[in-house]
Structure 1
Amino acid sequence: MDPAKVLGQQIKLPYSGKIVPNRFLKSAMTERLCTWDPDHRAECGKPTEGYINAYKRWGEGLTGVIVLGNIPVHRDYLEAAGNAIIDKNNPWDAVEAFKPAVAAAKAHGSLCIGQLTHAGRQAPDTVCEQPVSASDTKCPDGVMGLNFQPARAMTEEEIWDAIDRWAFGAEVLYKAGADGAQLHSAHGYLLSQFLSPLVNKRTDQWGGSFENRSRIVFEIIKAIRNRVPDESFIISIKINSHDFIDGGFSQEECATMVEKLEEARVDLIELSGGTYESLAFEHKKESTRRREGFFVEFADRIRPHVKKSVLCVTGGFRNAEPMAEAVKQDTCQIVGLARPLCAEPDLPKKILEGKSKGAAENAVESSLQTPAAVIQIHAMAENRPIPDTAKKEVAEEVTEMIIGKKPMPHAEGAKYPPI
């Protein structure tokens, strides 16, 4: 079957009953397009016109599921300055603030879910003086150019407060018109820290056994169901197939986790991998390069443990044929895309209409492609031409912006921070 036809197939989510119009998912990314004032944290994280513009562009691209993200549930523990925030203690109306972005994402038939997160020990020292985690620990400095303060172990009260914050965030998304919420339990953020036996050294009900380490995730799911009893509201999760670090969350634990998530009626499981310590986005095996997706071989091993929930794999996909093969072979049912949708927000539409066979090449050095993607997102937000990093001269110009040899583009009067 033609790749466009495979990727254009609808799929029904098993528990909410929602229909995903095609097999593409826009994975959550750091946008850095919301209000930022470090001296007035309560006013930070409001969606701006630029934020809405970006999701308008992604909505026009006909991606089946659009994930807003990443959205911290606590204004003190951020992944970066300028991201959207849903904090239950903020004085502004988050429901009204998020409605325009959700509507823009859904305007052309896409489903929209919001990724709710908490950085934990991965809150950089530029935005957090005292991070928290499952245990007393520290994220290594220098990763992706960031530095981190030592994190202290969360108290029992703080853990229950975090659970309530995730539930509050899901309720805000529901009232704002979103189709669901996603828990960010991957890439070394707080929930991933609890799951990791390397980071989580607790001896109470939140640490030790796998059941205890995963308890926070399932308590959040229960709390969301209590806040949002509407069964058509999607609950999704992003988890690591593997932490790719000795002593971390393992593939075997991931297999157990997906079985438990299915029992908890989680509709959509997005599989990724790695942490700030071990990014895991460049496997060297020839079979992996041929199939493109970084985590497809891990997904092959996880897939037998998933009977009803829909499995998405994110990371590495660039061309329509390997995407369609992953779906046809039942490695996954949905293909997640992130950086390719920053360069080409309409890539799914072009593939589905037969106008493209895959993403354009990216000539930016791999270690700098995340900040390059943020530059492209800001161009979308400000209605400027998106830098075409397939062109060597443009990639060099973007690289000079990232390393500080050339000023970053920034809209005059914008309320979000410069990149």
Structure 2
Amino acid sequence: MTERLCTWDPHNRGECGMPTDAYINLYKRWGEGEIGAIILGNIPVHRDHLEAPGNPVIDKNNTWDAVAAFSLAVAGAKAHGMLCIGQLTHPGRQSPDIVCQQPVSASETKTPDGIMGLNFKPARALTEDEIMDVIDRWAFAAEVLYKAGADGAQLHAAHGYLLSQFLSPLVNKRTDKWGGSFENRSRLIFEIIKAIRTRVPDDKFIISIKINSQDFIDGGFSSEECAVMVEKLEAAKVDLIELSGGTYESLTLAFEHQKESTRRREGFFVEFADKIRPHITKSILCVTGGFRNAEPMADAILQNTCGIIGLARPLCAEPDLPAKMLSGKSHGANVNVLDSPLQTPAAILQIHAIAESRPIPDLSKKDVADDVTAQITGKKKPYHPASAEYPPM
């Protein structure tokens, strides 16, 4: 999840992205919830290319000590025996104009305006030197996580971000070694993996990737290519492969594509996991999205659909949900009565409530959901501490 709880100054990017007390407290709270493996969400590797204001940032040109800053959040997440993995990202063309006036991508392209209320500038193609810099930035950020005590790093190659853009034949129109064939389009990911292994030679340091099962858009990354990709990822000794789907342009379709039989299993991408699972024998497969109740989660594990269940929005509403389910006090997440497009921004408001030690909005209650809707749509200002160094949401 994107937390948006780190320092933000649009006039001084060098001071952006530092973990705040609220960010640290968020992961401390999640660390108390028996989650198992906690992923620090959406950490850009370039301070000029953010997903949103308030992102944490690990940039090799930062003037502050990222190891010291992130070690506090990592320690909080791990305090009760959980694993902690940092998710490293670059939004590429999906960096909105409120944070980026010159986005970059695999090729000249543009994310359509109006998606999630955001606008985007046209993106230019990365040069060869800039691609090498991207590789180095990912390796640097992974090393920072390692030195900060994290158990691993995850490459965010899903949801239409930069690595996903390179994989997509629809977006990647390059004619050099970084585009064209599937081998070329996937090259950047494997060069990053090699660079991380060189920078962090500790075999116990987990390398993970979040990848689309498909882009859910004509001409994009396909489920057939995903099956080939996971075999290559396992051969590259990637430890954990998380399946998701969609880009900014197709997220709604990605989360509404299921057959009725799949809906009963809850996970948005379980049918793709069923197809992909036979292609890997060593890497652990994680499926994220749609799971709400303990029984379908257990079934997915017992039926060998995946080895790990990923939860995001349910943990924003109930940071101790796994503990409650494991103890038998709960059999699943609270119902969320909000319309689907509002659920992600509502989850960010819940994240801020957790981080600020306030009551978490209970979105199973209509009056609370109406109040949160008013905050999301701008009819009401969201609560925001006067001393906060991060944006309201």
State the TM-score, normalized to the length of structure 2.
Answer: 0.99
> Is residue 2:24 matched to residue 1:52?
yes
Q: CA deviation at 1:64?
A: 0.8
1:311 and 1:406 mapped to 2: Cα distance? 41
2:160 and 2:257 mapped to 1: Cα distance? 19
1:114 and 1:281 mapped to 2: Cα distance? 24
Are the counterparts in 2 of residues 180 and 236 from structure 1 also a CA contact under 8 Å? yes
Letter in 2 for 1:324: A
Name the residue aligned to 2:152: 180
SS in 2 for 1:76: coil
> Is residue 2:241 matched to residue 1:254?
no
Name the residue aligned to 1:288: 262
SS in 2 for 1:238: strand
Name the residue aligned to 1:160: 132
Q: CA deviation at 1:266?
A: 0.5
Q: How does 1:70-149 map to 2 (within 5 A)?
A: 70-149=42-121
1:412 and 1:307 mapped to 2: Cα distance? 51
Q: CA deviation at 1:93?
A: 0.5
Could you tell me which of 396, 402, 409 is aligned with 2:370? 396
SS in 1 for 2:10: coil
Letter in 1 for 2:375: M
Are the counterparts in 1 of residues 66 and 144 from structure 2 also a CA contact under 8 Å? yes
SS in 2 for 1:136: coil
Letter in 2 for 1:399: T
Letter in 2 for 1:175: K
1:40 and 1:188 mapped to 2: Cα distance? 27
SS in 2 for 1:313: strand
> Is residue 2:360 matched to residue 1:366?
no
Name the residue aligned to 1:3: none
2:36 and 2:281 mapped to 1: Cα distance? 21
1:144 and 1:404 mapped to 2: Cα distance? 14
2:257 and 2:122 mapped to 1: Cα distance? 30
Could you tell me which of 59, 63, 66 is aligned with 2:35? 63
Name the residue aligned to 1:349: 323
SS in 1 for 2:41: strand
2:177 and 2:379 mapped to 1: Cα distance? 50
Q: CA deviation at 1:283?
A: 2.5
Are the counterparts in 2 of residues 268 and 311 from structure 1 also a CA contact under 8 Å? yes
Deviation digits for residues 207-250 of structure 1 (CA, Å, limit 9, x no counterpart): 00000000000000000011000110000000000100000000
Are the counterparts in 2 of residues 34 and 45 from structure 1 also a CA contact under 8 Å? yes
1:226 and 1:214 mapped to 2: Cα distance? 19
Q: How does 1:262-411 map to 2 (within 5 A)?
A: 262-279=234-251, 280-411=254-385
SS in 2 for 1:71: strand
Are the counterparts in 1 of residues 135 and 192 from structure 2 also a CA contact under 8 Å? yes
Q: CA deviation at 1:353?
A: 0.6
Name the residue aligned to 2:6: 34
Name the residue aligned to 2:389: 415
Letter in 1 for 2:265: R
Are the counterparts in 2 of residues 33 and 82 from structure 1 also a CA contact under 8 Å? yes
Deviation digits for residues 154-197 of structure 1 (CA, Å, limit 9, x no counterpart): 00000000000000000000000000000000000000000000
Are the counterparts in 1 of residues 258 and 268 from structure 2 also a CA contact under 8 Å? no
Are the counterparts in 2 of residues 283 and 289 from structure 1 also a CA contact under 8 Å? no
The answer for unaligned runs of 5 or more in structure 2 is none
Q: CA deviation at 1:413?
A: 0.3
Are the counterparts in 2 of residues 33 and 50 from structure 1 also a CA contact under 8 Å? yes
Are the counterparts in 1 of residues 28 and 77 from structure 2 also a CA contact under 8 Å? yes
1:188 and 1:289 mapped to 2: Cα distance? 24
Are the counterparts in 2 of residues 74 and 165 from structure 1 also a CA contact under 8 Å? yes
Higher RCO, 1 vs 2 (CA within 8 Å, ≥6 residues apart): 1
2:255 and 2:359 mapped to 1: Cα distance? 28
* Aligned-residue identity in percent: 78
2:313 and 2:99 mapped to 1: Cα distance? 24
Deviation digits for residues 240-287 of structure 1 (CA, Å, limit 9, x no counterpart): 001000000000100010000001110000000000010011224201
2:336 and 2:57 mapped to 1: Cα distance? 30
Letter in 2 for 1:34: C
The answer for unaligned runs of 5 or more in structure 1 is 1-28
Deviation digits for residues 310-339 of structure 1 (CA, Å, limit 9, x no counterpart): 000000000000011111111111000000
State the TM-score, normalized to the length of structure 1.
Answer: 0.93
SS in 2 for 1:236: strand
2:356 and 2:73 mapped to 1: Cα distance? 15
2:115 and 2:179 mapped to 1: Cα distance? 26
Letter in 1 for 2:177: Q
Runs of 4 or more, structure 1, over 4 Å off, are: none
1:41 and 1:190 mapped to 2: Cα distance? 20
Could you tell me which of 192, 199, 219 is aligned with 2:191? 219
1:44 and 1:294 mapped to 2: Cα distance? 34
Letter in 2 for 1:246: D
Could you tell me which of 186, 192, 204 is aligned with 1:232? 204
